[in-house]
Amino acid sequence: MAILGYNDYFPYSIYRPFQEKVIQEISEATALGKNSILIATNGTGKTIMALSATLPIVMSHPKRKILFCSRTFTQNARVIEESKEIVNKKFGKENVPPFGALSLRGRNEMCIHKTIARLKLPPRESMNVCASLRKNKRCKFFINLFKKKKSKEFEEYLEILAESPLESQELMSFAEKDDLCPYFLTKILLAHEKIVVCNYQWIFEPNIRKNFMEALGISLSDCIIIMDECHNLPEIATGINSFRLTPYTLKQGLKDLEIFRATHQLIRFLENLSEILKKIKKYQNFDEVKLRKHQFLQEILNKNKFGSLNDLKQVLSDLKEYGEAIQSEKIETNMLLRDHIFPIVEFFQQFIDHIDDEAYFPCITMKNTDRGKSIALEVKCFAPRLITDPIFKESLATLSLSGTLHPFTYTQLLGLNETGKKLKIIKMKPPFPKKNAKVLLTRELNTRGDNRTAEMYRDILIALKPIFMNTPRNIGVFCASYEVVRGLLENGFKRLAEMCNKKVYNEESGLSAKDNDIMIENYKFQSTLESGNGAVLLGVCGGRNSEGEDFPGDNMNAVVIVGIPFQRPTPSGNAKNDYYEKLFPGKGRLFGYTIPALQRANQACGRPIRKMDDKGLIVLMDNRFSQHRIYLSDWIQQSIKKIPNSTAIIKREVQSFFLTDRIN
């Protein structure tokens, strides 16, 4: 068979501007085992460029695979859609063989057993319940799959499934039809797939990765890792390596120890920890405060009358062993398998191991809930490399994709110049005409904390009115924080939108993924109605809708960014800036505070322009964007026009932008 190249896997009749050149660069860099970064704005076709460039490399070798990381199920589905395009257009032509692609979801999302669906447990506890159901032969779906595995037809069944790309929901439908377990069918099928699409946890969380690679039947050196929206990776990596402990976990762990007749020492240990937390809570008046770590550790030793740190380590070891025995007994007696012991042991082991490590920040956090104040102990990690190094060093090659990435920051934080691999940075010019985007920056408005008065919110609403009145259909308004969202709502945001005949959809904090999907579907539907004037989506920069959702065409004609989404100053945020300052002198605050905020704003700005022919009006309502202009995406920088906060001028600018579209 002839050697195939990227042209053989590109499914469309013509390339968009600059696409082929970028695909060539990715292909060459990947073949040489480099870590590559592609910075390309929305509408450039990053997914299909990544797939067509890397597929020839994995198809030429029986063990190689593409592992495609993304953050949302919507992004997963996009990879499968493009894979289907390739298979449908190329299969049977030019000797292009078929290939399998599969998107993954977690056990909770894929399990069709009523018990797990009803309990809605955290992943680790779902795993334990699943183990209990399987061991006690109370899951017919797993039993059926086990029986089917023994049949001669099963390998043929797998080959049929692996001949074409499948979204996880499609595989679940196949499995349900035959009363098979979708989750374990997926694990079996993994070894047969050339492309596996998953969230970041599958690859970057060390324990999950170990099991995942075993199911794939390969090592990282056989994998090309593609990371979509990679600007999120530093935060994802530090989150994986951070730990949290609450009074609720201690309370439930104590119940388990008492029910299963643990030693007095172990019971008393958890009781003492609970008492210490209650004492801290009584005097805690801030949302977050740095934990006096050595004083806290000494209080634990004193309270439990431990002579040394080794005594505490021994109790933690005993507690872990007893927790494992409790889980075994629960399995034997068919009890609910919630595990509250392991998180306690894990937290304190991490706390002790990193007590003098500046990459970790122990703190106490407090938040108000319906039941009053809720306290937690946390160990926050600042060093993403502790998690990302194995991926960038050991994999065959990597490709990081983003439309808003600041490459220098990403490279420095993840140590990409120290991986033993060469680094390739590719910047792609925006393919859409410059006239398709208009960026306005209001000179007078400023949403800095001490400016957040009723007068400021009224000034913002005055500036929003001509935008609402003169934008043909849907608008997105993404704010710096939920505090700004509340300020707008309290000062008449909904009245203004309704006066402009636009329905408001408000992205509330804590909204479930399912409820959010329904809200977005209804919001988009408003753009299709002949009557009415579209809708307004009100949310925050950095939220799921300002980053993970697409709004092509009239789904979002304009987007307004109200304020720069800087993180509220906290002790951990300040400590992170100080940590980065020691690693990267002169750039600590830039890396830890400024650039992440501008990336969140960049992401929100790109929501209206998702296709080549989309037009989008972007309005930046905070004059501080001017001083941070260099960290905005190139296409935004090139289009910025500064204007005063004048209703007449804003009206003229909005009308002129959309009027040319109507005339054409």
**Are 627 and 517 contained in the same domain?**
yes
Residue 303 lies in a domain: yes
86 close to 51: Cβ distance less than 8 angstroms: yes
Residue 183 lies in a domain: no
Q: Is 245 helix (H, G, I), strand (E, B) or coil?
A: strand
Query: Which of 505, 587, 490, 590 has its CA nearest to residue 551?
Result: 505
Q: Distance (Å, rounded) from C-alpha 345 to C-alpha 140? A: 34
**Are 456 and 549 contained in the same domain?**
yes
656: its two tokens: 């002129």
The CB density around residue 313, as the number of other CB atoms within 10 Å, is: 14
User: Considering its fold, how many domains does the chain have in total?
Assistant: 3
The CB density around residue 309, as the number of other CB atoms within 10 Å, is: 14
Task: From 361, 381, 401, give the residue that closes a domain.
Answer: 381
Q: What is the pLDDT of residue 241?
A: 94
234 close to 407: Cβ distance less than 8 angstroms: no
- Gyration radius of the chain's alpha carbons: 27
Residue 646 lies in a domain: yes
The dihedral sign for the CA sequence 352, 355, 359, 365: positive
Output the CA angle 113-119-124, nearest 5 degrees. Answer: 90
Q: What is the mean pLDDT of each run of 10 residues along the chain (664 residues)?
A: 82 92 97 97 89 96 95 86 89 73 88 79 73 84 90 87 90 91 92 94 93 94 96 94 93 91 93 92 84 95 94 95 84 70 94 96 86 88 97 98 92 96 93 85 91 94 96 96 95 95 91 86 92 91 85 92 94 96 96 94 87 86 94 88 93 89 44
Q: What is the pLDDT of residue 663?
A: 40
Specify the DSSP element, H or E, that contains 158: helix 153-161
Q: Strand runs (DSSP E) across 258-339, as ranges? A: 288-290
Q: Distance (Å, rounded) from C-alpha 242 to C-alpha 347? A: 9
Contacts of 279 (CB under 8 A, 6+ apart): none
Residue 138 lies in a domain: no
Residue 335 lies in a domain: yes
611 close to 619: Cβ distance less than 8 angstroms: no
Task: From 427, 459, 494, give the residue that closes a domain.
Answer: 427
Q: Distance (Å, rounded) from C-alpha 270 to C-alpha 296? A: 15
Residue 527 sits in a domain whose CATH number is 3.40.50.300
Query: Which of 602, 661, 612 has its CA nearest to residue 637?
Result: 602
**Are 306 and 207 contained in the same domain?**
no
Q: Is 628 helix (H, G, I), strand (E, B) or coil?
A: coil
Q: For the chain, what is the largest distance between any 2 Cα atoms, rounded to a whole number of angstroms? A: 83
**Are 479 and 614 contained in the same domain?**
yes
Q: What is the pLDDT of residue 96?
A: 76
Burial annotation 69-82 (CB, 10 A radius, 16+ → b, else e): bbbbbebbbbbbeb
Q: Strand runs (DSSP E) across 271-354, as ranges? A: 288-290
**Are 213 and 64 contained in the same domain?**
yes
616 close to 552: Cβ distance less than 8 angstroms: no
- How many Cα atoms are found within 13 Å in the side-chain-facing hemisphere of 110? 27
**Are 202 and 213 contained in the same domain?**
yes
**Are 338 and 451 contained in the same domain?**
no
**Residue 524: φ, ψ to 5°:** -65, -35
Q: What is the pLDDT of residue 159?
A: 86
Q: What is the pLDDT of residue 93?
A: 60
**Are 607 and 577 contained in the same domain?**
yes
Amino acid at 66: I
476 close to 467: Cβ distance less than 8 angstroms: no
Amino acid at 9: Y
488 close to 571: Cβ distance less than 8 angstroms: no
Task: From 343, 361, 381, give the residue that closes a domain.
Answer: 381
419 close to 400: Cβ distance less than 8 angstroms: no
67: its two tokens: 């592992």
Q: Distance (Å, rounded) from C-alpha 523 to C-alpha 475? A: 10
The dihedral sign for the CA sequence 556, 561, 567, 568: negative
Alpha helices (runs of H) in 471-526, residue ranges in sequence order? 482-490, 493-499, 513-526
Residue 288 sits in a domain whose CATH number is 1.10.275.40
Residue 154 lies in a domain: no
Could you list the residue range(s) of the whole structural domain that residue 45 is in? 6-10+19-99+194-240+385-427
Residue 177 lies in a domain: no
Burial annotation 137-168 (CB, 10 A radius, 16+ → b, else e): eebebbeebeebeeeeeeeebbeebbebbbbb
C-alpha dist (Å) from residue 515 to 290, 451, 526:
36, 33, 17
- How many Cα atoms are found within 13 Å in the side-chain-facing hemisphere of 594? 17
Q: What is the pLDDT of residue 335?
A: 66
Alpha helices (runs of H) in 423-566, residue ranges in sequence order? 454-470, 482-490, 493-499, 513-526, 544-547
pTM for this predicted structure: 0.89
Q: What is the pLDDT of residue 614?
A: 81
**Are 455 and 588 contained in the same domain?**
yes
Query: Which of 635, 631, 626, 627 has its CA nearest to residue 606?
Result: 635
What is the DSSP-derived secondary structure letter of residue 151? S
CA 19 to chain centre: 26
Q: Distance (Å, rounded) from C-alpha 50 to C-alpha 82? A: 10
Amino acid at 482: Y
Q: Distance (Å, rounded) from C-alpha 507 to C-alpha 477? A: 10
Residue 613 lies in a domain: yes
Query: Which of 93, 90, 134 has its CA nearest to residue 113?
Result: 134
**Are 612 and 499 contained in the same domain?**
yes
Cβ burial of 593 (10 Å; 0-12, 13-18, 19+) is: middle
**Are 575 and 459 contained in the same domain?**
yes
**Are 408 and 501 contained in the same domain?**
no
Task: For strands 223-227 and 65-70, give the pairing.
Answer: parallel
